[in-house]
Amino acid sequence: MKTTKIFYFLLISLFFISCSEDEITQENEQSTEAVKETVVTAKNNLKPIGSGVMMQAFYWDVPAGGTWWNVVKGKVDDWSNAGIDAIWLPPASKAQNGPFSMGYDPFDYFDFGEYNQMGSVETRFGSTAELQSLVNTAHNNGLSVIADIVLNHNSGGASEYNPFKGTSTYTDYQPMSGMFNRTYYDFHPNDYHANDEGAFGGFADLCHHKTYVQDWLWNNSNSVAKYYKNVIGFDGWRFDYVKGFAPWVIKDWKNAVGGFSVGEYWDANVNTLDWWTGQAEVSAFDFACYYKMKDAFSGNDLTKLNDDMLWKRNASKAVTFVANHDTDEIVNGKILAYAYILTHEGYPTIFYSDYEQWLDKNKLNNLIWIHNNLASGSTSIMYADNDEYIARRNGNNSAGIVVYINNSNSWQERWVETNWSNTRIKDFTGHSGWEPVTQGGKWVKIQAPPKSYSVWSVK
């Protein structure tokens, strides 16, 4: 996540509470009337997550003014028709910077745009009603909706004397929703321990070892997790900055509410990613793949695609991507990088700006179709040098494919061994007009245009 400029300020207290943490727990447990009796569209006809492609439905600094939920709502029908199966939304609840915040400085986990606090009623993205309308529209189009969850840190608390630091800290949280009030006991340092795996950017660092915090985040019937799922209608979770706390936190959340889960463990070390997915028992963004693609396409060395990646270790836990709201470093050859992740194993993600603004949408739609209909089975890397890369998907529910990526400035041709004998094949991208017939020994010559790619399968 990106660091948001935070200006701490004192909140004018609506009332003063002079009770113990246990009493606060009881008081907040009684706030179930704050949970709105909202009917969420039945979710019987959603596409299985992982059967298609995920859309990251935002970018950094999307337009403010409370319009974004409606913008996305207007696109989900087209996205679903293109083969998207899930949309990932930015953090949806009220944050410390109110109408200007991208949501990564959370203040009130239960205010989705209905309480006048932190400078606005609506969030940057819109109102609660507009969010739920978006969720229902996505469900009606068969799309799951992934919530961006920030559990590591909070922002916007009022100042209070903190005996564990001997100074005042901004750890007094009295959100207008009346849900999940917090004090210095709930952050580091406290009476349990001084710190956990990592703090972020000077924000108040939540202590997940405290039962009170666990109850409000995922255990209680009106916890953040269950409210997001049962009231707002979210179907899965993208967890922000999971380096900041232990993997059991994500595992416990997932066990409490279910749903597809992916963590942002920002590390290029595939061993670390593989370890984390095993401990958390959820998926992770494949940063190892991302950085190898950066080296390959920006550094003009496609042999880097031979290197280890999470999808090669455990494809069922790898969410692959070319760019996101935090990092967008693959500039040269970006469409080639999409050709790579949309023809290989793992669950690919498309970045909103690439799809809607910067790249050829028709080419991306074609690659999404190839991913959903042709690219199945295990992967065999057949050839790689500085400019060329060829891999074969060996087929599972389909005939499989051969993908040929060419980063040179001229057309290239190669003989390759396919899965098909005496079979006519074609390039399903339309970049090549060849329709060769494979030999009895399954070999065939294929081609790819300069700075482009071809994807071959049975005609």
Positions annotated as catalytic residues are 240, 264
* 435: Cβ contacts below 8 Å, ≥ 6 apart: 424, 425, 426, 459
* Chain Cα centroid distance, residue 329: 18
In angstroms, the CA 445 to CA 236 distance is 44
CA distances from 365 to 140, 160, 421, 426 (A): 21, 53, 29, 18
Q: How far is the CA of 100 from the CAs of 6, 96, 109, 123, 140, in angstroms?
A: 11, 9, 17, 8, 30
Question: Angle, to 10 degrees, between the axis of helix 270-280 and the axis of helix 247-257?
Answer: 40
Burial status of residue 360 (CB atoms within 10 A of its CB: 0-12, 13-18, 19 or more): exposed
Q: Whose CA is closest to 55, among 142, 181, 183, 122?
A: 142
The residues near 283 (Cβ < 8 Å, ≥ 6 apart) are: 260, 261, 262, 263, 277, 316, 317, 318, 319, 347
Q: At residue 361, what is the residue type?
A: K
In terms of DSSP H, where are the helices of 324-384?
Answer: 334-341, 352-353, 361-373
Q: Per the annotation, does 181 bind a ligand?
A: no
Q: Six-digit token pair at 324?
A: 């996101």
Three-class secondary structure of residue 194 per DSSP: coil
Q: Report helix, strand and coil shares of the chain as percent, to nearest 5.
A: 30, 20, 45
Q: How far is CA 122 from CA 38, 76, 128, in A?
A: 18, 22, 8
Identity at 117, one-letter amino acid code = Q
Q: What is the DSSP letter of 316?
A: G
Q: How far apart are CA 142 and CA 96, in angstroms?
A: 33
215 is in an annotated binding site: yes
CB 310 within 8 A of CB 274: yes
Report the distance separating Cα 407 and Cα 412, nearest Å: 10
For 85-107, b/e burial (b = at least 16 CB within 10 A) is: bbbbbbbbbbbbbbbbbbbbbbb
Binding-site residues for Ca(2+), in ranges, read: 152, 215
